[in-house]
Amino acid sequence: MKDPEKSLDPQLWHACAGSMVQIPRVNSKVFYFPQGHAEHSLSFVDFSSSPQIPPLILCQVADVKFLADAETDEVYVKIMLIPLPNSELDLEGDALLTDGSNTVEKPASFAKTLTQSDANNGGGFSVPRYCAETIFPRLDYTADPPVQTVIAKDVHGDIWKFRHIYRGTPRRHLLTTGWSTFVNQKKLVAGDSIVFLRAENGELCVGIRRAKRENGSSVGSYGGFSTFLREDASNKMMRNGTGKVRPEAVLEAIALAAGGQPFEASFYPRASTPEFCVQATAVRAAMRTRWCSGMRFKMAFETEDSSRISWFMGTVSSVQFSDPFLWPNSPWRLLQVMWDEPDLLQNVKCVSPWLVELASNMPAIDLSPFSPPRKKLRIPDHLDFPLDGQFPMPSFSGNPLVPSSPLRCFSDSVPAGIQGARHAQYGLSLSDLHLNNKLQSGLFLPGLQRFDPCTRISDGIMMASHTNNKDNLSCLLTMGNSSQKEKSGNGKRNQFLLFGQLILTEQQLSSETVSEVITRKSSIDGISDKTKDSSDCSGSALENQSSPEKSLTAGFLWNRDYRTTELCMDTSHCKVFLESEDIGQTLDLSVLGSYEELYRKLANMFGVERSEMLGHVLYQDATSAVKQIGDEPFSAFMKTAKRLMIRMDSGNDGVGRQWLTTIQTAKSGLDGPSKRGPLGIFA
């Protein structure tokens, strides 16, 4: 109990850590990401004197200690890891073992975010009825009033007593005596959460989850680090609250890991940075996908009050190393993303592939304004692409338990977009993202800016989209409505039709074709160096699992084709995709001549009354600024609009459903998009 290294009840630990957190089991295999570890330390880790470090290291989990900070009660884990030789990469058995952990039953627990009254006023706590009835000991309602003393153990094993009374008109459950002591000792404030949990042995446990405090001197950032420390007594709780991993500890761990020595790493699940020890099966599965820009995905986040999980839709804007200088070849935060709701997620600019779940089995349309900022990865603008539909598309194998077999086709029994749902286990909370509103401007130390490579990159994207705004506009509408998916997806078994056009899946293309096409096209254009550079990454579109690639650092095999894929998606021809749950609909604004026509078109597309839409259609321009439709001439709107958004359920204050409409400018050399419509490129 007084031993700070004493593991606490894993169930209480998980209840405090939040529903998104998944800790690998002992003996399972994980990939350790030094880059993620450094990020988790929330401070500058100086690798300048370190040798080149593999971006990911396969390890066996030797031990997991579920711990809690003695001062703040913040939960964390200490994971003992043993680096494995590359030959141990066979994860078949491991996947099964790991999955077994999911079958452990969750104990009855309840979390409540403290209200002002809970935290400030006369020392009482309103117990939600559900909590009182399912978590607390049975109360004798025949007494008048019904009272009992609730005894709960905290993460340190310390015992807290609360007077639990059922009184008032109407009757309600309250904690009175003992509560304010608890609040004061634990330094709880409104917004913090309390977790009650009935352990397997029947004991009642109590844990706390502190709110991510939003104060001027601290910022949270999923895109790099969450807490910028300033020496100020006022944010002591913040300092103590998260991010205890010191840079030296990271360097030590990395040094040991790189040397093949066992090492220890602490992970604070509430620190708002992604897990840096990831189940090897999950990583391998994620990297089996050939990621490319334009792919639609969803990603799970904890809601702001940590009570639920929200899914957010997004589009891969580019696929590139987040830090090619320090961590070349690292899949960590490989995907640069654009969110359908960028306001909420504005600081999540790149994510790791295993955190997202592909939203569709269909090829994605290229978001052509988003050309990658780095010359190295770009294909020349004038490189034309085959118009026969035979271009490379990503392979999908979201579920690590289902090995992707060559030419395997999707069956109707596996709903698209549900595959790979396990990915959802890794994620972040929404409140972290809200914190990021303060992230902008000059709060970063110059020396720390290197931690936010994504910001820099997306700036580049913004620049590109400005300069690439040509006259040809096509508009893609996505709708948060899964019913339409059936319409297009349930037709022929191995084919997808979009607006009458046959869409081929990657499995319907041979890999040879892909690389040949690229190589041939490159040499035709006479820019052999650059294409050599890219063609040597093209490899095979379908991974040969029996002979894993061994050339990558740390012996990890994953699909190195993504660069090729990226090249492909960069060209303006690869721009059609079909969404799963949220069907994307493309709207070519250039065929419309006025707002009136736009409203009519939208009304037709979604079956909503024109009157319902008035004043509720918003759009984003290339700078991501959200504007109201009608504020400027239609011609100007048409040129700058990138995405449309129709707010429904206007009676409510914005909580209603939102349909998102993504408008995409086309920069292709197509000569008559307005005549052929958005899918004309397939003609």
For its own copies, the binding residues (CB under 8 A) are: 2, 4, 70-71, 230-233, 236, 248
Q: Are 548 and 569 in contact (CB under 8 A)?
A: no
| DSSP notation for 493-561 | TT-EEETTEEE--GGGS-HHHHHHHHHHHHHHHT-HHHHHHHHTTT--SS--TTS----SGGG----TT
**Phi, psi angles (nearest 5°) of residue 194:** -115, 140
Q: Which of 65, 78, 156, 163 binds DNA (CB under 7 A)?
A: 163
236 makes contact, choosing from DNA, its own copies, none, with CB < 5 to 8 Å by partner type, with its own copies
Q: Which of 7, 63, 78, 128 binds DNA (CB under 7 A)?
A: 128
Q: Closer to its own copies at the Cβ: 147 or 229?
A: 229
- Number of chain residues interacting with DNA (CB under 7 A): 31
233 makes contact, choosing from DNA, its own copies, none, with CB < 5 to 8 Å by partner type, with its own copies
User: Which of 414, 467, 504 shows the shortest CA–CA distance to 622?
Assistant: 467
Site residues for DNA, window 130-159 (CB under 7 A)? 130, 145
118 makes contact, choosing from DNA, its own copies, none, with CB < 5 to 8 Å by partner type, with DNA
170 makes contact, choosing from its own copies, DNA, none, with CB < 5 to 8 Å by partner type, with DNA
Q: Is 655 in the site for DNA (CB under 7 A)?
A: no
128 makes contact, choosing from DNA, its own copies, none, with CB < 5 to 8 Å by partner type, with DNA
Shortest distance in whole angstroms from residue 192 CB to its own copies: 18
Q: What angle do CA 100, 313, 327 make, to 5 degrees?
A: 70
Edge-first strand order for the sheet with 626-628 is 584-587, 473-478, 658-665, 643-647, 617-620, 626-628
4 makes contact, choosing from DNA, its own copies, none, with CB < 5 to 8 Å by partner type, with its own copies
Q: Closer to DNA at the Cβ: 170 or 447?
A: 170
Site residues for DNA, window 479-498 (CB under 7 A)? none
| Torsion angle, alpha carbons of 384, 389, 391, 396, to 10 | 150
Q: Are 464 and 623 in contact (CB under 8 A)?
A: no
Q: Is 181 in the site for DNA (CB under 7 A)?
A: yes
Q: Which of 10, 124, 380, 680 binds DNA (CB under 7 A)?
A: 124
181 makes contact, choosing from DNA, its own copies, none, with CB < 5 to 8 Å by partner type, with DNA
Which range binds DNA by CB under 7 A, 32-40, 125-133, 252-260, 591-599? 125-133
Long-range CB pairs of 233-242 (<8 Å, 24+ gap) are 237/72, 237/187, 237/210, 237/213, 238/213, 240/69, 240/71, 240/72, 240/74, 241/72, 241/74, 241/210, 241/213, 241/270, 242/42, 242/74, 242/268, 242/270, 242/271, 242/272
Q: Which of 11, 180, 361, 505 binds DNA (CB under 7 A)?
A: 180
Q: Which of 87, 103, 142, 169 binds DNA (CB under 7 A)?
A: 169
Which range binds DNA by CB under 7 A, 176-184, 248-256, 280-288, 526-534? 176-184
Q: Closer to DNA at the Cβ: 112 or 198?
A: 112
Round to whole Å and give the CA distance between 377 and 358. Answer: 23
| DSSP notation for 186-225 | TT--BTBEEEEEE-TTS-EEEEEE------TT----TTS-
Site residues for DNA, window 225-264 (CB under 7 A)? none
Local structure of 662: helix, strand or coil: strand
Q: Closer to its own copies at the Cβ: 49 or 547?
A: 49
Shortest distance in whole angstroms from residue 332 CB to DNA: 40
* Residue in this structure with the two tokens 């070349």, named with its chain if needed: 328
Round to whole Å and give the CA distance between 155 and 159. Answer: 10
Q: Is 118 in the site for DNA (CB under 7 A)?
A: yes
Q: Which residues bind DNA (CB under 7 A)?
A: 112, 115-118, 121-124, 126-130, 145, 163, 165, 167-174, 176-181
